[in-house]
């Protein structure tokens, strides 16, 4: 079980707890951890489509006392009400209904059935924007649960049934070279253009990976670069020295040199601000890649159960930066729900049609996420740690 510091007063915790299972299990997971007192059972109202999610919740919560009510259709009012009513009749002790998950029809008709039972049920809802648990009945009571449940990145992935393709990175690599690249960014990007060749088959520029192509790229001789990099005559010599000795590995190296280094730069900054941002211990990692469905996240941090995702790109054109931001926004919400927050660190300028404020304004208009997204550009890189911390600490948590 993950660490928990429960702020919910005992009168709002119940012996029995009914949860409505939707496509995102995170709200149910948090509700079960803070609202159930462990004396009765946790009841999951699920459809045939969400039954497997309920099973996963049971496993992740480590429950031994539970019941999955699965024979319902999400839009059949009578069936939902009858199922909930029958379940309530058999419950002994206090009862709670958290109606955060499931469909709107499930929420409405489960609520009506519970209300009609006249058993003094505790009704609650988890607000994804404020990370507060809201209780209604006689008046309304709200309390922050943002730090109540401490989760890791892998915990969040397991909750969704995602399996890591390989272990994520917990420490930044080659920092001396990374910071040298940042100091010489404009010149570096010009050199990095040599890492792509035009493929005659599909007329697209692809990363080089053959030994011949690597041997034809000279190593740039910037004065403040580490000797372990500049002492090599060409890219093939460097690749062999660093252990990238086959074509796939060489392509990985080209990808890192072209722009992957920025992930190590950002990971270093995120780990530096971990204490002031309240990230969970060890929950700041990079290069998160899953098997099926396959997707990648650049840098991920978790505070409480709120996921912060930082996408990284050396692109400086509006369409490219927006495209990557949209992709990571959808992935982040798929894992971290509406509670997730997303930003992108790019090389977008502070002037022209691709400047940071234009990208952020258009993205906000398209996605309507309020302050849930942020765009950082080239001019933000010198003070990126401070600017990341400022934006993260503006997000609701406590």
Cα distance between residue 140 and residue 72, in whole Å: 30
Encode pLDDT of 198-222 as tens digits.
776 666 789 999 999 999 999 998 8
Cα distance between residue 290 and residue 310, in whole Å: 17
Residue 1 confidence (pLDDT) above 50: no
Query: Residue 151, preceding bond cis, omega within 30 degrees?
Result: no
pLDDT for position 92: 94
Cα distance between residue 104 and residue 74, in whole Å: 9
Q: How many CB atoms lie within 10 A of CB 9?
A: 10
Tokens representing 285 are 């990692």
pLDDT for position 17: 98
Range 175-184 average pLDDT:
97
Half-sphere exposure of 169 (CA within 13 A, CB side): 19
Cα distance between residue 337 and residue 344, in whole Å: 18
Strands 95-98 and 16-20 turn out to be parallel
Q: Range with the lowest mean pLDDT among 29-33, 133-137, 317-321?
A: 133-137
pLDDT for position 266: 98
Please choose, from the candidates 52, 49, 72, the residue with its C-alpha nearest in 3D space to the C-alpha of residue 60.
52
Q: Range with the lowest mean pLDDT among 19-23, 27-31, 75-79, 98-102?
A: 75-79
pLDDT for position 200: 60
All residues at 6 or more sequence positions from 73 whose CB lies less than 8 Å from its CB, including other chains: 47, 79
Tokens representing 279 are 């990230």
Range 320-337 average pLDDT:
93
**Percentage above 90 pLDDT, the chain:** 82
- Considering the entire predicted model, what is its pTM? 0.91
Strands 196-199 and 132-137 turn out to be unpaired
Cα distance between residue 375 and residue 359, in whole Å: 7
Please choose, from the candidates 60, 10, 66, 19, the residue with its C-alpha nearest in 3D space to the C-alpha of residue 41.
66
Residue ranges of domains in the chain, CATH in brackets: 10-149 (3.40.50.10770), 150-398 (3.40.1350.10)
Neighbouring-strand partners of residue 16? 95
Which one is predicted more confidently, 326 or 370? Answer: 326
Residue 137 confidence (pLDDT) above 70: no
Q: What's the count of helices (H) and strands (E) in the chain, helices before strands?
A: 16, 14
Encode pLDDT of 357-387 as tens digits.
999 999 988 887 777 899 999 999 999 999 9
Cα distance between residue 157 and residue 233, in whole Å: 43
pLDDT for position 76: 84
pLDDT for position 2: 67
Q: Range with the lowest mean pLDDT among 156-165, 200-209, 260-269, 330-339?
A: 200-209
pLDDT for position 203: 61
Range 45-65 average pLDDT:
94
Q: What is the mean pLDDT of the chain?
A: 92
All residues at 6 or more sequence positions from 203 whose CB lies less than 8 Å from its CB, including other chains: none
At which residue do the structure tokens 């049609």 appear?
353
List C-alpha distances in Å: 345 to 68, 180, 207, 296, 388. Answer: 43, 18, 22, 16, 10
Cα distance between residue 118 and residue 88, in whole Å: 10
| H or E segment and range at residue 184 | none
Which one is predicted more confidently, 77 or 382? Answer: 382
Angle at CA of residue 214, ends 210 and 219, nearest 5°: 165
Tokens representing 223 are 């004065």
Cα distance between residue 205 and residue 193, in whole Å: 10
Q: How many CB atoms lie within 10 A of CB 167?
A: 11
pLDDT for position 12: 94
């Amino acid at each position: 079980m993950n660490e928990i510091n429960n702020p919910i007063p005992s009168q709002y915790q119940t012996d029995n707890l009914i949860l409505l299972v939707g496509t995102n299990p995170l709200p149910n997971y948090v509700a079960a951890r803070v609202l159930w007192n462990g004396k009765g059972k946790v009841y999951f109202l699920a459809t045939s489509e969400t039954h497997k999610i309920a099973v996963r919740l049971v496993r992740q919560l480590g429950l031994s006392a539970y019941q999955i009510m699965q024979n319902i259709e999400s839009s059949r009012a009578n069936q939902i009400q009858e199922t909930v009513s029958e379940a309530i009749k058999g419950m002994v002790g206090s009862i709670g209904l958290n109606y955060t998950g499931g469909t709107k029809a499930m929420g409405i008709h489960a609520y009506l059935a519970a209300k009609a039972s006249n058993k003094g049920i505790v009704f609650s809802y988890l607000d994804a924007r404020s990370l507060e648990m809201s209780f209604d009945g006689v008046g309304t009571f709200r309390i922050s649960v943002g730090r109540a449940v401490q989760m890791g990145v892998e915990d969040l992935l397991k909750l969704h049934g995602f399996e890591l393709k390989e272990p994520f990175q917990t420490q930044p690599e080659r920092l001396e070279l990374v910071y040298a690249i940042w100091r010489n960014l404009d010149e570096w990007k010009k050199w990095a253009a040599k890492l792509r060749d035009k493929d005659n088959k599909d007329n697209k520029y692809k990363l080089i990976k053959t030994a011949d192509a690597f041997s034809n790229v000279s190593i740039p001789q910037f004065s403040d670069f580490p000797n372990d990099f500049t002492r090599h005559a060409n890219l093939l010599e460097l690749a062999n020295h660093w252990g990238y000795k086959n074509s796939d590995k060489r392509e990985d190296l080209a990808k890192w040199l072209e722009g992957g280094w920025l992930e190590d730069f950002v990971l270093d900054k995120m780990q530096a601000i971990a204490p002031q941002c309240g990230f969970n211990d060890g929950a700041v990692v990079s290069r998160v890649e899953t098997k099926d469905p396959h997707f990648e996240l650049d840098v991920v941090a978790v505070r409480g159960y709120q996921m912060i995702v930082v996408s990284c790109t050396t692109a400086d054109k509006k369409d490219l930066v927006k495209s990557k931001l949209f992709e990571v926004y959808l992935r982040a919400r798929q894992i971290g729900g509406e509670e997730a927050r997303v930003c992108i660190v790019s090389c977008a300028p502070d002037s022209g049609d691709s400047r940071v404020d234009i990208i952020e304004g258009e993205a906000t208009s398209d996605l309507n996420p309020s302050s849930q997204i942020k765009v950082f550009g080239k001019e933000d890189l010198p003070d990126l740690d401070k600017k990341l911390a400022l934006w993260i600490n503006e997000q609701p948590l406590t």
